[in-house]
Structure 1
């Protein structure tokens, strides 16, 4: 049987951990063996790192998706089993499956917010800085754990005064500011369920999430700062709660931009200023404790394909794995200054800004703005100012830095405090990995390249920085207590050196428990394909190298079939980025009358471009004439002639979600002339139109 996805690109550079890092690391090489001996007992030991009001009586319950009897299938879909027209089969002609069901630490009771705030104060660490905040305009604030405890208590009392109780849904539509963290922890403290929405999303995207969750409260701001400008957003919130489907009773408004956005629409009786809600309110709160499986949050997938899914995470298992993985992967030390650059609405921030770091008593940096406001060195100023030791960011930003600083960073930035780097969001190209290591990490800081998803809740594949020999571009191996495999269409594991589908064998504490309001979608999206084996299907392609390391090859939907060859977009993009003329690349399959599919590559040049040229579509079409043949030949040399792009389009930017994922579907739609569909997840919604203009100029 041929490989499910062909393995074309090889990478042989290795970076072993230094002796000094290995000697002081939180986790040693024996962790894998200890976890493999009894994975459930291993996760129980990690759960003991938390404070529980009541210990669990059963560590783990798992009911996989299995074929249903005719009577069970009829009950699931509301049919009559005696009806001769009822087959008991799904649309693929396979027996209907049960809904999978997992529980961890059953019977245990805890409060997530207490574990993230109160227990550190009670342990005598109240003076430790919890949040270091830098606003885009330059305002700054540092908040200790004792102060955070007081603020969370006030916010909790304010929410309860608005009628919020355990189980209610609260949608949070705020920028990256301390109030976002305070309010989110207050929601968790009550036992309500939060759903954070990126503050740049449209009213339409927000409305969908408000109505899908059946939210009782929407939290928003008067405005927010974007690229140096104060932008009003309250009108978006009003539009999102309009209409008969809305269940929102109050809109709680944080004052962020104030007089810079003066015309704020207001509905008396419904709208409440946050500063008024907490004025004079007690700064203490008696916490209640909730079941380990009590829902903690709903997070929506980006919506790059189809209708966004509201993925549900619960409390005890999620917090256990978030806390342990933060300590292990990021080698968290008490004196670290940790910065994860993700927007707070992204799952990375849920796990590795909010719940992981705060459960471990970390000092976290948060920054409100974009990395080039007011200049391209803003992130490096922040690292230097606060002595950041751990910097966790997206490959797309690293590739952007490469285009901004093609000769390396200016020497006046002092990044010597950095001891560990991390990447998340997409597979990182080997050349971008090496650039990150050398220019930002000073050639000394290990890089933890993490693979995970909203659905997994925390990292699944990642190196342990004091243990794992690193390879640029590889997320390396599954973490202790977890088992990730690469399989073919039939579910058989592929050989070393071959590619296929990435799956997770078994369950884990931080896994999603379902899709909000749609349990069948949870089953069909993640468990149906390999129900016989019991595998969770991640939707990503991957390959093994000769050492068994895992290399991500992108979404299976993004694999390109050229004359029967199934090629990974990530490998072609990595080949392009390895050329010094290319800063970033997005590759997609497009229609071709001869080969069925052809490769279209969109590249951002590494050279500086003037604002006048950037706005001229003809400039980009001319630049393609200069670079096209050169880059096609480079791809052919790197991974073979079959991977040469038919179309090579030079562009100033790529359509990306706020989390940094390239929306390759939109690139294919633009080339093939299809309607663009859902673009609500775009970080910059002007990119498709500008790309379309370049394609038109190119055709002319």
Structure 2
């Protein structure tokens, strides 16, 4: 690892952060990193000492095999130890650290009028009630529980109740279709489904119970009806936002299957002894997209995930006792698991739990929430930043953002234009931006700055977190030294890495370890500059080989969005008879900007100047909207098919607005522009 040089402009951490920071400077980072690599057992044992273990580990802290040629792939952490996740994130804080009166969550509903403060003591009581309810419904250690809930406190209660009694939760984002919910229930063979009657998303009322019933009916049709009971939450905000909307929802009810949350929770005790689990017992399953189209059930286990999410949260956000932290993700995704629930609670943090959307009831909603709760650490996605950039400075300047100390980004590489706007407008040039790279599979951050220690380069994920050893390989599996670009892989595990694909060890090994034996393969391309900084180039299948040159789609997209007329861009490959592949670019313009030949020429010239002639796009298409999942990720698979004029687009169930596809086909480029 190289000490940062001057290849790019460096943004050094503010001096005020360094005084009380957990990792106060770059030299401290280097010392801790060296220890985590050379003495991993010593390093992680010290981290583990902050938590409660019913039984201590009996062997090495980390054991593993990453080489498929030497046998089955496995990772074990804290083998022989027993503990309980829920006990460590709640009881330990309430009983051992006297934090029972501290606010765990400020819940902010879809409407600004709906909010609630939940202390650690109250959270523990509700979780115990939910634990007892699940046990009364027949849930036992090892059983899988499907959770299909909006961002309401009951979602946190349920997932922690599962961990308390040793059940395995499988949370499904409450924007997925009945088919997607059915598929996940069937794959993990869940015995209980927890859902809500409905939810407002902005001004749109969604009947969740109806979708849940359709999913269970699909399970029965496929002779895979493992769910015996459905626990239904009545979303209390629905009864105040628009009167009582029960009649509008017409919530179906099956007395043989459905159980009313409010009725049963009032009949059980606030006391529930935790189930003591082995360190490698399963904690949760979370589904992520697969190259075959069939989602993969990523399995995480108790002890390693506890250690890793707690430490990454503490160091990456430099958590301090007086912080109010806000991650805008949905708990239906891994970001919400790790950095709304488990990581913050393990540190006794106070967080904002946000149900709404960025532009409802107005485009300044994010900034309003920051002012309302005096948020100090703010973590969001580049997609949201680019969306809010379009509205200019006025919505931001209405609110006081002076409480902010650290900003974070997650989900995709952030383009430099968005980074600078985030840093200068939202952070007022005083807040470092921690651009975090990680995956559902990694459990927590693996490449990330530390806010008081790492000089920043806009768009770079900078350096590895403790215990993480990245390297870059070429197509032949040869390790590349110094400045390089190729496949990002990791040569050793960290405690929070996934353990398997649920029910399919063969898929786990073939997906992540078969291509390059001895390494975990992320599937992402990466560039390392002369200073040792890592730059994520996007999925390898989103990297394009043009005349033998490997081009990063993320880099081309950043060049396009640097143009003042472009709000968003997505770049995919299209077959080319001479080059093999060429660049096909979709651009969404800012309001009132016209798509014409002059603009196309300007964009091509800009990419050529920023990256080089080899990166000049062959096609630039006007895209009034881009196909995105409900979580906001661009569906590049669909864009590749549109670029190739392939009308059979496969499963579009996760797309937020399928109408976008027809519009894009109508605007499609037939010849090189």
1:211 aligns with 2:211: no
Root-mean-square deviation over aligned CA pairs:
2.0
In the alignment, which residue of structure 2 is the partner of 1:368? 355
Deviates more, 1:303-312 or 1:228-237: 303-312
Q: Give, in whole Å, the separation in 2 of the partners of 1:399 and 1:584.
A: 7
Shift of 1:552: 0.4
Deviations, residues 587-628 of structure 1 (Å, cap 9, x unaligned): 11123344332211111223358xxxxxxxxxxxx6244521
Deviations, residues 492-533 of structure 1 (Å, cap 9, x unaligned): 2223332010001111110100001100000000111111xx
In the alignment, which residue of structure 2 is the partner of 1:132? 106
- Cα distance 1:596–1:34, how it changes in 2: closer, same or farther (>3 A)? closer
* Aligned-partner SS, 1:413: coil
In the alignment, which residue of structure 2 is the partner of 1:222? 197
The equivalences for 1:189-268 within 5 A come to: 189-242=164-217, 243=220, 244-256=223-235, 257=238, 259-260=244-245, 261-268=248-255
1:331 aligns with 2:318: yes
Q: Give, in whole Å, the separation in 2 of the partners of 1:412 and 1:564.
A: 50
In the alignment, which residue of structure 1 is the partner of 2:137? 162
In the alignment, which residue of structure 2 is the partner of 1:60? 62
1:557 aligns with 2:519: no
In the alignment, which residue of structure 2 is the partner of 1:74? none
Whether the 8 Å CA contact 1:304–1:665 is kept in 2: the answer is no
Q: Give, in whole Å, the separation in 2 of the partners of 1:163 and 1:378.
A: 42
In the alignment, which residue of structure 2 is the partner of 1:416? 402
In the alignment, which residue of structure 2 is the partner of 1:646? 618
1:577 aligns with 2:568: no
2:75 to 102, 118, 122: 102
Q: Give, in whole Å, the separation in 1 of the partners of 2:316 and 2:20.
A: 13
Deviations, residues 335-358 of structure 1 (Å, cap 9, x unaligned): 110011111110011111110001
Whether the 8 Å CA contact 1:624–1:650 is kept in 2: the answer is no
In the alignment, which residue of structure 2 is the partner of 1:342? 329
2:580 to 596, 607, 631: 596
1:176 aligns with 2:157: no
In the alignment, which residue of structure 2 is the partner of 1:612? none
Q: TM-score scaled to structure 1, two decimals? A: 0.89
Deviates more, 1:250-259 or 1:265-274: 250-259
Q: Give, in whole Å, the separation in 2 of the partners of 1:16 and 1:392.
A: 20
- Cα distance 1:63–1:12, how it changes in 2: closer, same or farther (>3 A)? closer
2:418 to 432, 455, 480: 432
Q: Give, in whole Å, the separation in 2 of the partners of 1:60 and 1:228.
A: 49
* Aligned-partner SS, 1:102: strand
1:667 to 639, 642, 655: 639
Whether the 8 Å CA contact 1:655–1:687 is kept in 2: the answer is yes
- Cα distance 1:654–1:361, how it changes in 2: closer, same or farther (>3 A)? same
Deviates more, 1:408-417 or 1:193-202: 408-417
Whether the 8 Å CA contact 2:7–2:530 is kept in 1: the answer is no
In the alignment, which residue of structure 2 is the partner of 1:468? 454
Whether the 8 Å CA contact 1:425–1:660 is kept in 2: the answer is no
Shift of 1:580: 1.7
Whether the 8 Å CA contact 1:403–1:605 is kept in 2: the answer is no
* Aligned-partner SS, 1:106: coil
Deviates more, 1:387-396 or 1:584-593: 584-593
Whether the 8 Å CA contact 1:408–1:439 is kept in 2: the answer is no
2:475 to 482, 485, 489: 489
Alignment length (residue pairs)? 647
Shift of 1:36: 3.0
Shift of 1:479: 1.0
* Aligned-partner SS, 1:529: coil
Task: Identify unmatched segments of 5+ residues in structure 2.
Answer: 1-5
Deviations, residues 371-424 of structure 1 (Å, cap 9, x unaligned): 11121111110011110101111111111122222x575422111110000111
